[in-house]
Amino acid sequence: MEDNQQTKLVNERRRFLEVAGKFGFGTAVLAGVGGYLWSDSAVAQTAADEERKEKTARVRMNFATEYKVEDYVKYPVMQAKWKENLETLSKNQIFCKLFPAGQLGVGAALAQKIQAGTVHGGAVSLSNFSPYAPAVDLINIPYWCGDNQRYANLVTSKTWNDEITPRVVEKGYQPLFYYTVDPRVIASRKGFKLIKTPADMQGVKMRVPPSKLLQTFYRLTGANPTVVAWGETSTAIKQGVADALDPAIAALATFGFVDILSHVSYIRSVPDAQLFSANAAWYKVLPDDLRKVFDDASTKTQIDTFAQIAPARTESMRLMRAGGCQFYNPSAAEMKQWVDVCGEQRKEYDEFKLQFAGSMDKFEAMKKAANTKGPITVPEFTL
């Protein structure tokens, strides 16, 4: 069965490259997602439609991500849905050309290209985005907006959009919409212990991105934060350079960790937060009617994305269980220990609250917004 599946994947990849070579990468992507990759007539029609739309559109947007389009099944980045919503709502006055799978850069490099305007827009995690627009790093203070509902409340609130969005725009970005993949977890390598409470973190070599905030968080638990570039993290885990890492479950399943982890503890400390954004200067000169379309497409795609979190998580967990990983949901008493030891109330975070929120009062207003139900409902999840 496994050999048959591998043969199928090889054949699909070969066909994808064949279609991309003949009709272009964008057509191959749409055919793959649409399920008609093997239909010559459907592929040819798609290529013709794409060419026509691009020629007649008033505005063309190049939109880049580091994710494959089909990854949305296990990682809720809805780039094909964004293209569909944008083109449909504009009645094809806007043409969105997708550049998935890191074609135009990944992580911080892509964020920099969006800021410079060499790419019109893209999807970037807030951790990679924060060096260029530091205010968004506010969400990396633990245990105030880590779960999906509170994060959704926060990023759709007037408080967030009044206080944070203008500061992001000043840095050269126009936020389209914020979303999350899921809360961050603690995932341990094969042969390493299950982590249930902060006491289990003593001496753990914890892989972190270059974020002072997250390093502070893990030092409070007694761990040793180890900065490792994302592209090198899988190797670091395999070699024991790092004992654990903290992305969302969907990220673990998507980026090469399926068969190298023993346990995932669902501590839901911080949102694995993401942003669709455009270059602010490019967005600003769009005609008023088309800016309105961007706003409407953003709202619709944000709703679509939050709805995809649960199906993506289910598929990710299935893949990881097949790779031998076990999942653990801390009890209420164990969760209280996490909050007590390293929650947002710790004075060690005060400098970050002042830096990113502007004042302690403004941070409290953000916290109130996170705890006030917004327009999006995210179903509760327990393992």
Domain for residue 147, yes or no?
no
Q: What is the distance, to the nearest Å, from the Cα of residue 362 to the centroid of all Cα atoms in its chain?
A: 26
Residue 6: pLDDT band by 50, 70, 90 thresholds? low
Residue 2 has pLDDT above 60, yes or no: no
CA distance 294 to 59: 11
Question: What average pLDDT does the segment 196-222 reach?
Answer: 94
> Element (H or E) spanning 45, and its range?
helix 40-56
CA distance 207 to 17: 35
Do 218 and 285 lie in a common domain?
no
Do 162 and 21 lie in a common domain?
yes
Do 7 and 113 lie in a common domain?
yes
User: How many CA atoms lie less than 13 Å away from 82 in the CB half-sphere?
Assistant: 31
Q: Name the more confident of 334 and 42.
A: 334
Domain for residue 383, yes or no?
no
Do 307 and 323 lie in a common domain?
no
Structure tokens at 286: 């769009």
User: How many CA atoms lie less than 13 Å away from 192 in the CB half-sphere?
Assistant: 27
* Closest to 173 (Cα-Cα) out of 128, 253, 99, 111: 111
- Please tell me the predicted confidence (pLDDT) of residue 57: 98
Structure tokens at 360: 């302690």
Domain for residue 377, yes or no?
no
Do 260 and 298 lie in a common domain?
no
Do 343 and 262 lie in a common domain?
yes
Do 161 and 92 lie in a common domain?
yes
Residue 204: pLDDT band by 50, 70, 90 thresholds? very high
Do 81 and 194 lie in a common domain?
no
Residue 192 has pLDDT above 70, yes or no: yes
Domain for residue 291, yes or no?
yes
Give residue 218's domain range.
186-270+316-370
- Please tell me the predicted confidence (pLDDT) of residue 73: 94
Summarize pLDDT for 264-282 with one digit per residue, the tens: 999 999 999 999 999 999 9
Do 168 and 205 lie in a common domain?
no
242-281 b/e with 16+ CB inside 10 Å = b?
bbbbbbbbbbbbbbebbebbbbbbbbbbbbbbbbbbbbbe
- Please tell me the predicted confidence (pLDDT) of residue 209: 83
Summarize pLDDT for 217-252 with one digit per residue, the tens: 999 999 999 999 888 999 999 999 999 999 999 999
From 311, 340, 361, the end of a domain falls on 311
Are residues 75 and 67 in contact, defined by beta-carbon separation less than 8 angstroms?
yes
Residue 1: pLDDT band by 50, 70, 90 thresholds? very low
Domain for residue 151, yes or no?
no
Summarize pLDDT for 71-108 with one digit per residue, the tens: 999 999 999 999 999 999 999 999 999 999 999 998 88
Domain for residue 207, yes or no?
yes
Summarize pLDDT for 298-345 with one digit per residue, the tens: 999 999 999 999 999 999 999 999 999 999 999 999 999 999 999 999
Q: Domains in the chain: how many in total?
A: 2
Residue partners of 159: CB distance under 8 A and separation at least 6: 365, 366, 368, 369
Predicted TM-score (pTM) of the model is 0.93
Do 278 and 339 lie in a common domain?
no
Do 62 and 173 lie in a common domain?
yes
Residue 137 has pLDDT above 80, yes or no: yes
Domain for residue 253, yes or no?
yes
Do 15 and 65 lie in a common domain?
yes
- Please tell me the predicted confidence (pLDDT) of residue 180: 97
CATH number of the domain to which 332 belongs:
3.40.190.170
Residue 366: pLDDT band by 50, 70, 90 thresholds? very high
- Look over the chain and give the mean of its residue pLDDT values, rounded to a whole number: 94
Residue 144 has pLDDT above 50, yes or no: yes
Domain for residue 141, yes or no?
no
Residue 383 has pLDDT above 80, yes or no: no
